[in-house]
């Protein structure tokens, strides 16, 4: 790590932390919350200093002050641990402070008044979380450690939600209005993804095995799947509507329709195939030829070689393909609401069409949380599979296989917005 | 006993093995040697049907191997390859136990066998039984590879350049351990290599292959002294021919049995090039020789070492030209 001597003569040990500290300071100058008399009017900004009114409020900002100091600490494990704790606590504390201020603002206003998160909140919370993520990476925390940090922040926010402390925030008011449809939307979203996953695995895994065994199959399959990935999701949903509607007209009793869950599941399956097929094939190619040769030479049958050698050794790479697939499908399923498939996307689009930003958030935040949860779950699986594959192959199993699909977890939001 | 009768193998238009016939006797150590692409590995891999023969017949103890299921045939033979191919997700113990487990041996018997094999190959069972392959050095991995091949007490051991990737010291110690093990167990070994020194050191008989044909099949001494073609002579190499010639005979072979001499004695099985080295080191022209029980077995004279055998003429010329 290079030392950087700043203008004032102090020594900067961690430039990422410095960047996050600067971002946090900048965020503190931006509007922290927005307060509007009702959901249709644009609100007036509430700066951070106006939201800090009690000793407890000042205490909530302490992690932020600690974070400002961390770039100047020597990068020992203790200092990095402090960065992680301070960053994570800052994000949770900002949520608490927002709830606190929303309650105070609500005290003198009509029930229609809305208090929403504004740019300052988002910038500071993001700076805190990113500082924590970077600190965890520098500490060399394993999957379990990183999940523990993320889980603690989630638990703190969940506790605030459960206690009713955040009930005066606009997001929670939107939730209260739609409590009846919200749980259904989440369930439907998960079901859409699960319904796409079943055919993806049934088709994708055998196709990946075939592509590995016969290069000609791979040469035929991968270009097609790559092209599918480049089709924008709305276009693919649209393309499926016409043939499915025609099919529905031909078979009136079969319940086939150009809109609704069926085209959504088909489109999600088509998008999900590439990572599954490719990572199955890449995983199998990663099994050393000598290992397979020795297995044959010792008298294992082809079935035994597949189950005892190929499968466990290819599993970590396969699971990272499944991770890409799941995260991508959770995001894409939101767009499927446009063709009447329902799910959290339906709430998002209602918000977009009604210009109600908090309603959009009510749909978008659970989508993000579902994607993060799927990612975390698969990380645990991949770490376990890599241990099962004998340690060394864990290094050979890339989280990011050589050729990338156009969609990566980070792209999900971009595609959802198409 | 392994018999090849007019066995051929073609890959497309290329003939890898061309009507080869030979017999490997029970308990014999047979080395197959030749340049790359000579067909030696193909011959080896036809014995356990990893490659099916196109023509001719291969018999094991008189039984045509086509009459057996390939998996059954392979479980009766040990198989060791250059890249070792240990299962990276299994412990050393489970790797070694592969074939016994396939054969359904009871667990306690497998456990005892693993202990016995690890000790036989100089790996401490307490330390290595639960280790994973990536925690071992290359030499240790191949020791486990050999142990795994020997696990189900096969009568035949097939080895495809097993020690070629190892450093010279590790290779030498694995060679002598292999020699000791096969003398003790009486296992028939078919061993592919491109290293003539390794072949001379280990083989009872060496089969030299070129372009899919077997051009000479003889003892190490005959290969050295009566090479059948210039290729065989090139494989032996002209450098240090005399020392290689000495290395295939032992002190016992040339000692004057009735003579006696005091001093530190050589065991009868000492190769003659070592005996020569010992004479140079001690500055003497005579060394006493003792048998396995330490009883005097004669005296070795320098003049007997340099005395060429009558059939050494051809090899002697080769050495002279070097």
Q: What are the structure tokens assigned to B190, written together?
A: 């078919």
pLDDT on residue A355: 81
Chain B environment of A393 (Cβ under 8 Å): 88-89
Distance CA A360, CA A417 (A): 12
Residue B148 in contact with partner chain A when CB distance is under 8 A: yes
Task: Supply the pLDDT for residue B308.
Answer: 63
Residue B213 β-bridge partners: B210
The pLDDT of residue A206: 94
Tell me the sheet residues that pair with A5. A11
Q: Is B102 touching A (CB cutoff 8 A)?
A: yes
Give the lowest-confidence range in A91-100, A355-364, B199-208.
A355-364
The pLDDT confidence band at residue A387, using thresholds 50, 70 and 90, is confident
Q: Is B21's Cβ below 8 Å from some Cβ in A?
A: no
- pLDDT in the model for residue A399: 39
pLDDT at residue A208, as a whole number: 94
Residue A23 in tokens: 């971002």
pLDDT-derived band at B294, boundaries 50, 70, 90: confident
Tell if the CB–CB gap between A291 and B86 is shorter than 8 Å.
Answer: yes
Query: How many CB atoms sit inside 10 A of residue B183's CB?
Result: 11
Residue B20 near residue B213, CB atoms below 8 Å:
yes
Residue pair A365/A175 in contact by the 8 Å Cβ criterion = no
pLDDT digits (tens, 9 = 90+) for A297-314: 999 999 999 999 999 999
Which residues, in sequence order, are bridge partners of residue B33? B193, B208
Q: Check: CB of residue A268 under 8 Å from CB of residue A196.
A: yes
* Confidence (pLDDT) at B85: 92
User: Which pLDDT value is given to residue A180?
Assistant: 85
Q: Which residues of A are less than 8 Å from B90 in CB distance?
A: 390
Q: Span A171-185, mean pLDDT? A: 88
For the cut 70, the answer to whether the pLDDT of residue B292 exceeds it is yes
Q: Is the pLDDT of residue B98 over 80?
A: yes
Among A145-149, A317-321, A367-371, B188-192, the least confident range: A145-149
Task: Show residues of chain B in contact with A294, CB under 8 Å.
Answer: 79, 81, 84-87, 145
The answer to whether B250 and B272 are in contact (CB under 8 A) is: yes
CA–CA separation, B152 and B150 (whole Å): 6
Average pLDDT, chain A: 84
The winner for highest mean pLDDT among A8-12, A31-35, B290-294 is A31-35
pLDDT at A392: 47
- Cα–Cα distance between A138 and A132 in angstroms, integer? 10
Which of A23-32, A79-88, B233-242 has the weakest average pLDDT? B233-242
Confidence label for A416 from pLDDT (cuts 50, 70 and 90): very low
| Exposed/middle/buried for residue A322 (C-beta within 10 Å: 0-12, 13-18, 19+) | buried
Spacing of C-alpha A282 from chain mean position: 24
User: Residue A172: pLDDT above 70?
Assistant: yes
Q: Looking at the complex, does the CB of residue B157 fall below 8 Å from at least one CB of chain A?
A: no
How do residues A211-251 score in pLDDT, each as one tens digit?
999 989 988 889 999 888 888 888 888 888 888 878 877 77
| pLDDT tier for residue A390 given thresholds of 50, 70 and 90 | low
For residue B86, the chain A residue with the least C-alpha distance is: A291
The residue-averaged pLDDT of B246-256 equals 87
CB-based contact B272:B247 (threshold 8 Å): yes
Q: What is the mean pLDDT of residues A89-103?
A: 92
Q: Report, as an integer, the average pLDDT of B306-322.
A: 50
Residues near A104 by beta carbon (within 8 Å), at least 6 away in sequence: A53
Q: What is the pLDDT of residues A240-299, one digit of tens each?
A: 888 887 887 777 776 777 777 888 888 899 999 999 999 999 999 999 999 999 999 999
Residues of A at the B interface, defined by Cβ within 8 angstroms: 288-301, 304, 308-309, 312-313, 388-393
pTM across the whole model: 0.78
% of residues, chain B, pLDDT over 90: 74
Query: What is the predicted pLDDT for the residue at B311?
Result: 53
Pairing assessment for the beta strands B296-301 and B286-290 based on DSSP bridges: antiparallel
More confident residue, B116 or A144: B116
Of residues B78 and A405, more confidence is placed in B78
Sheet with A31-36, edge to edge strand ranges: A44-47, A31-36, A114-117
Domains in chain B: ranges and CATH? 2-236 (3.40.50.300), 249-306 (3.90.1280.20)
Please give the residue of chain B at the shortest CA–CA distance from A315.
Answer: B89
**Is the CB of B96 inside 8 Å of chain A's CB atoms?**
no
Are A390 and B89 an interchain contact pair (Cβ–Cβ within 8 Å)?
yes
Q: What percent of chain B has pLDDT over 70?
A: 95
The answer to whether A88 and A152 are in contact (CB under 8 A) is yes
Q: Of A241, A265, A244, whose CA–CA distance to A254 is shortest?
A: A244
B65 touches chain A (CB under 8 A): no
A396 has pLDDT over 60: no
């Amino acid at each position: 790590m290079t030392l950087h001597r700043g203008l004032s003569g102090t020594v900067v040990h961690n430039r990422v932390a410095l960047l996050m500290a600067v971002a946090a300071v900048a965020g503190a100058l931006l509007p922290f919350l927005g307060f509007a008399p009702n959901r249709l009017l644009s609100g007036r900004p509430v700066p951070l200093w106006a939201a800090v009114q009690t000793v407890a409020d000042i205490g909530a900002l302490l992690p932020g002050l600690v974070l400002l100091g961390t770039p100047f600490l020597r990068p020992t494990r203790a200092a990095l641990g402090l960065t992680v704790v301070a960053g994570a606590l800052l994000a949770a504390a900002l949520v608490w402070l927002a709830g606190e201020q929303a309650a105070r603002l609500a005290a003198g206003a009509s029930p229609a008044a809305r208090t929403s998160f504004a740019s300052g909140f988002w910038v500071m919370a993001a700076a805190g979380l990113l500082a924590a993520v970077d600190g965890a990476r520098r500490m060399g925390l394993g999957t379990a450690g990183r999940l523990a940090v993320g889980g603690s922040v989630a638990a703190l926010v969940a506790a605030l939600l459960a206690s009713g402390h955040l009930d005066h925030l606009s997001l929670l008011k939107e939730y209260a209005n739609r409590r009846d449809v919200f749980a259904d939307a989440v369930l439907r979203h998960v079901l859409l993804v699960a319904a796409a996953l079943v055919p993806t695995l049934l088709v994708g895994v055998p196709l990946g095995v075939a592509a590995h065994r016969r290069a000609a199959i791979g040469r035929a399959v991968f270009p097609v799947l790559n092209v599918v990935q480049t089709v924008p999701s709305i276009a693919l949903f649209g393309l499926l509507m016409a043939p499915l509607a025609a099919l529905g007209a031909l078979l009136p009793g079969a319940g086939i329709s150009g809109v609704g869950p069926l085209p959504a599941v088909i489109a999600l399956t088509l998008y999900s195939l590439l990572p599954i097929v490719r990572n199955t094939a890449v995983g199998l190619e990663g099994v050393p030829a000598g290992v397979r040769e020795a297995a044959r030479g010792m008298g294992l049958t082809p079935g035994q070689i597949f189950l005892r050698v190929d499968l466990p050794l290819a599993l970590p790479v396969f699971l990272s393909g499944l991770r890409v697939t799941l995260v991508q499908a959770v995001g894409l399923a939101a767009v499927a609401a446009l063709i009447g498939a329902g799910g959290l996307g339906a709430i998002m689009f209602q918000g977009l069409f009604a210009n109600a930003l908090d309603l959009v958030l009510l749909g978008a935040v659970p989508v993000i949380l579902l994607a993060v949860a799927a990612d975390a779950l698969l990380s645990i699986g991949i770490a376990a599979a890599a241990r099962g594959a004998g340690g060394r192959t864990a290094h050979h199993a890339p989280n990011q296989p050589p050729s990338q699909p156009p969609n990566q977890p980070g792209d999900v939001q971009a595609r959802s917005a198409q | 006993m392994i018999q090849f009768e007019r066995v051929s193998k073609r890959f497309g238009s290329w003939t890898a093995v061309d009507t080869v016939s030979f017999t490997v006797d029970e308990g014999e150590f047979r080395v197959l040697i030749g340049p790359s692409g000579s067909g030696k590995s193909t011959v080896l891999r036809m014995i356990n049907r990893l490659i099916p023969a196109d023509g001719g017949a291969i018999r094991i103890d008189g039984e045509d191997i086509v009459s057996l299921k390939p998996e059954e045939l392979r479980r009766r033979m040990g198989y060791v390859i250059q890249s070792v191919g240990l299962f990276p997700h299994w412990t050393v113990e489970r790797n070694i136990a592969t074939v016994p487990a396939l054969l359904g041996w009871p667990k306690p018997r497998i456990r005892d066998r693993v202990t016995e094999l690890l000790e036989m190959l100089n790996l401490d069972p307490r330390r290595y039984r639960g280790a994973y392959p990536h925690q071992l050095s290359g030499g240790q991995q191949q020791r486990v590879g050999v142990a795994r091949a020997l696990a189900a007490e096969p009568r035949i051991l097939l080895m495809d350049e097993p020690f070629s990737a190892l450093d010279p010291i590790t290779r030498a110690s694995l060679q002598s351990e292999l020699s000791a093990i096969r003398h003790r167990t009486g296992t028939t070994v078919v061993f592919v290599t491109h290293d003539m020194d390794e072949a001379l050191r280990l083989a009872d008989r060496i089969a030299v292959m070129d372009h899919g044909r077997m051009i000479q099949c003889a003892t190490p001494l005959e290969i050295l002294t009566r090479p059948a073609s210039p290729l065989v002579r090139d494989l032996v190499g002209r450098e240090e021919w005399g020392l290689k010639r000495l290395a295939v005979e032992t002190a016992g072979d040339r000692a004057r049995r009735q003579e006696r001499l005091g001093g530190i004695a050589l065991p009868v099985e000492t190769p003659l090039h070592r005996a020569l080295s010992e004479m140079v080191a001690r500055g003497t022209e005579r060394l006493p020789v003792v048998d396995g029980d330490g009883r005097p077995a004669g005296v070795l004279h320098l003049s007997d070492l340099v005395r060429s055998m009558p059939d050494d003429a051809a090899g002697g010329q080769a050495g002279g030209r070097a």
